[in-house]
Amino acid sequence: MTTVDASRSAGAALLFPPGFRWGTATAAYQIEGAAALDGRAPSIWDTFSHTPGKVLGGDTGDTAADHYHRMAEDVGLMSRLGVSDYRFSVAWPRVQPTGRGPAAQRGLDFYRRLVDALLEAGIRPVATLYHWDLPQELEDRGGWPERGTAERFAEYAGLVAQALGDRVASWTTLNEPWCAAFLGYAAGVHAPGRIEPAAALRAAHHLNLAHGLGVRALRAQLPRSAEVSLTLNLHAVRPLTDAAPDRDAARRIDAVGNRIFLDPVFHGRLPPDLVGDTAALTDWSFVRDGDLAAAREPLDWLGVNYYSPTVVAAAGPGEPAAERAPSPWPGAEGRVRFLPAPGPRTEMDWPVDPDGLYELLARLREELPGVPLVITENGAAYADRVGPDGEVADPQRIAYLRGHLESVHRAIADGADVRGYFVWSLLDNFEWAYGYGKRFGIVHVDFATQRRTPKDSARWYADVIARGGLAP
C-alpha cells in the first residue's frame, strides 16, 4: 500500500509521496523591477504597461516587488517556508537586451547570484526561460508571428544554459504559450496588444517551434541528468449540457486552448479539427516540413498551471458569443458562449473549482501515459490587508489551496504521476493588465515600502510542507 493509498481513509492526513516537490513560483517582470538597470532593455511588457489605458491604474513593472535588490530577503522567506523548489523566470531582455547577439554578463550575474543563494539555502532552482517578456526589438521585427523569433529563442536558451547549466538542474522552456499567443496577439489584452487572430495562430505555432528548438539548445549544453519541461495553462473545458452543439463548442475550445500545444509537442501533429475551425483565418502554410517533428522533443515532465474551469455552450442566433471582444479564441467567434461556473469566486472573479484540476490530471494520465506531471502554478487572488495586529489573515486562500491539493492527492491515488506542486505566488506582484490591484502572494508586499509580511497562508503552507501533506 502506498503512502497516498494509506492516507485516503476518512479522517486521515492526506500525505503525498516521498520526494514530492513542494515549491512556489514567480515571474521576472512581475517581481524584479530594476527595469532599466545593468543593461536591461525594454520588453513588450515595458512598452505595453507604459501605454496609457493598457494597465489598470497606469501601473508598470518598473519597480514591481523590487526583487532585483531584495533577492536575498526573498530567498530567506522561501527558506523559512521550507520549500524544496523555487520556480523563477529569466528575463530575456536582461540577459540578451535586443533578443540577439552575445549575453549581457551583468544580467546573467543576477541569476548566478540568485541560483547560488537558492542552492546555499537547500532550494532547487527551476528556471523558466520565457514568461512573456519578449525583447521589444524582436517584437519590432514581427514578434512571435515571425519564424525568426523561434530561432532567436533557441540561441537565448543556449546562452542561459551555458551560464547556469552547472548549477540549475531543472529547466522550463515556455510558460503558458496560450496566453502569449492569444491574449497578446488575438485579444490584445496582454502585451504586445495586437488584435490579429491569424497572427495569433502563427504565434502559437512559432511558440511550439521555439519550445522544440529550445529543448535541443538546452540539451546541447546541459548534463544528461538535467530535467527539461514545458508549462501549459491547460483549460478544463466543460460543455453546459450533453447536447451535441454544446459538446461541439467544448471541442472547439479544447482545440485552440489545449490541443494546439499538446498535439504538436507530444504527437508531432496539428489537430485536424483546429485546422478546419480556423480555415477562414489561415491555411497554415507557415508550418514547414520538419516543424512538427522539431516541436516533439522528449520532455522529462509537463508543467500544468490551473486556476479555474471553463464552461461553454453553443451560441444561438442573436446570443452574445464572445467572452470578451475581441476574442482570444480564433475559430470560435460567433459560435461559442462562455458561461460562469457555479460556486464561490476569487478577487479575479474566477470560480473556485478544485474538481477542474482533478479532471485535467485524469485526462493527462490517460492521454500522456509515461509523462510525469508537476503543478507549476495554482493559487488565488483575494483582497488581503495587513490587520491592526500586523498579520494578514487570508482564510479564503487557505481553503482554495487545500481544496486543490486534495484534488492533486486524489489524482495521484487514482494513478496520475504528479510529482510536485508550486503555489502561485510567493509574493504579491505586478499582475499584468490588472497592475497592483490583485494579490496572489502568500507573502504580502506593501508596494510603497516593499515590506514583506507572510500571510496566514504562508504559515499554513509551511506546515503542509513540514508534514508532507494535509492535516486531517
Catalytic residues: 176, 377
Cα 175 from chain centroid?
Answer: 4
The DSSP element (H or E) to which 29 belongs, if any, is helix 28-31
Q: List, edge to edge, every strand of the sheet that includes 310-314.
A: 237-239, 310-314, 336-339
Residue 23 to residue 30: CA distance in whole angstroms: 18
Residue keyed to cell 520538419 = 290
At a CB cut-off of 8 Å and minimum separation 6, what does 333 contact?
197, 321, 322, 327
Rounded to the nearest 10°, the torsion over CA 349, 350, 354, 357 is -170
Pull the grid cell for residue 468. Answer: 508532507
Tell me how far apart the alpha carbons of residues 91 and 101 are, in angstroms, rounded to a whole number.
Answer: 15
If one counts every other C-beta atom within 10 angstroms of the C-beta of residue 398, the result is 20
> How many CB atoms within 10 Å of residue 437?
13
**How many helices and strands (H and E) does the chain possess?**
18, 15
C-alpha cell at position 343: 460556486
C-beta separation of 129 from 157 below 8 A: yes
The Cα 429–Cα 172 span in angstroms is 21
